[in-house]
Amino acid sequence: MSREAAFIEGLRVLAGHPAARGLADDAAVLTVGGETLVLTHDMLVEGVHVLPGQDPADIAWKLVATNLSDLAAKGTEPVGVLLGHMLGADDERFLGGLAEVLRIHKVPLLGGDTVSGGPPRSWGLTAIGRATHCPVPGRDGAQPGDGLWVTGTLGAALAGFEALRDGTGGGTGADSAAYRRPVPLLAEGRALAPLVTAMMDVSDGLLLDAWRLAEASGVSIAIDTHAVPIALPDRRRLQALSWGDDYQLLFTLPPGATPPVPATQVGQVEQRGFVPMFVDGQPVANAGGLGWQHD
């Protein structure tokens, strides 16, 4: 078990409120009066989630977009965000990127906190959304016979990371945009929410996130890796499916259902067998090496 997984197991003892969903999901779902709110919090750390010295405008964009992606997987309408910012010499650039991403997605800044520290620097964001469909989709609803689907193309963020790291994108080129400035699929999530049996975003790699969906739902998932559209040469297919940062939507639909958004069926949900996952017919007994984990 990774350090991250072990720590989360400890937190589950404290997270007894039903809104926490047993910490087995990407967001909390809280009913307040007649409204259902969805709350999520993600962090970025310099040298881990973003490159050292990366443009602060891009960091601000990614911080907001990754949190909005969690809201997208719940089919929500964003209500606002709370920012945790570590001060630095380039705060004006950060403010510019923050203003841009909030304007484009029509999300207000509601508050937050600032601290001094680093390097490395870190940033946190809490995003709040309003559910547009109840029950709010989670990871735990996949049923045997469902199809496993994913939006978009996988591996684009890895290609973008390499372009930015190696300087081939000049720091701002389109070939690094998928890594620098991911796009949360908010409209797609709202369209899918009434139809899916389970849904999450692909942040840590398709293989690892599908494993997590299988575990939460108590099913086995069989994935056909060759069915997945990728943005890298075919020899790097497994890298594309395990690197993460793509922020596409991974979801299950009942047999015969057709998604209302562009998506590709990449697998099948089966009765829980002796392992949670089969990749190209081969059983996978543990999550090690499937995707990004904090070890």
Query: Please, what are the domains in the chain?
Result: 3-131 (3.30.1330.10), 147-284 (3.90.650.10)
Percent of the chain with pLDDT over 70: 96
Beta strands in 71-136 (DSSP E): 76-86, 109-115, 122-131
Confidence bin at 287 (pLDDT 50/70/90): confident
Residue among 198, 201, 185 nearest 244 (CA): 201
φ and ψ at residue 270, rounded to 5 degrees: -125, 165
99 or 6, which is more confident = 99
Q: Is the pLDDT of residue 135 over 80?
A: yes
Q: Is the pLDDT of residue 295 over 90?
A: no
How many beta carbons lie within 10 A of that of residue 49, not counting itself? 19
What is the average pLDDT across 203-228? 96
The pLDDT assigned to 173 comes to 62
231 or 285, which is more confident = 231
Pairing state of beta strands 35-45 and 122-131? antiparallel
pLDDT digits (tens, 9 = 90+) for 145-191: 999 999 999 999 999 999 999 885 445 566 899 999 999 999 999 99
Q: Is the pLDDT of residue 37 over 70?
A: yes
Instruction: Please identify which residue in the block is written with the tokens 């680093």.
Output: 118
Q: Is the pLDDT of residue 282 over 50?
A: yes
Instruction: Please state, in angstroms and rounded to a whole number, the distance separating the CA atoms of residues 151 and 236.
Output: 19
Q: Is the pLDDT of residue 279 over 50?
A: yes
Instruction: Please state, in angstroms and rounded to a whole number, the distance separating the CA atoms of residues 261 and 237.
Output: 24
The pLDDT assigned to 169 comes to 47
Q: Is the pLDDT of residue 288 over 80?
A: no
Residue among 203, 205, 215, 193 nearest 24 (CA): 215
End-to-end CA distance of the chain: 9
Structure tokens, 271: 């009765």
Q: Is the pLDDT of residue 105 over 80?
A: yes
Q: Is the pLDDT of residue 130 over 50?
A: yes
Cis peptide preceding 120, ω within 30 of 0:
yes
Percent of the chain with pLDDT over 90: 81
Structure tokens, 130: 């309003």
Instruction: Please state, in angstroms and rounded to a whole number, the distance separating the CA atoms of residues 211 and 205.
Output: 10
Structure tokens, 223: 């994935």
The pLDDT assigned to 40 comes to 98
Q: Is the dihedral of CA 290, 127, 56, 248 positive or negative?
A: positive
Instruction: Please state, in angstroms and rounded to a whole number, the distance separating the CA atoms of residues 22 and 115.
Output: 30
Enter the DSSP assignment of 137.
P
| SS3 state of residue 289 | coil
| SS3 state of residue 91 | helix
Helices of type H across the chain: 3-12, 56-72, 91-104, 156-166, 177-180, 186-192, 206-217, 237-242
Average pLDDT over the chain, rounded to whole? 93
What is the average pLDDT across 192-210? 97
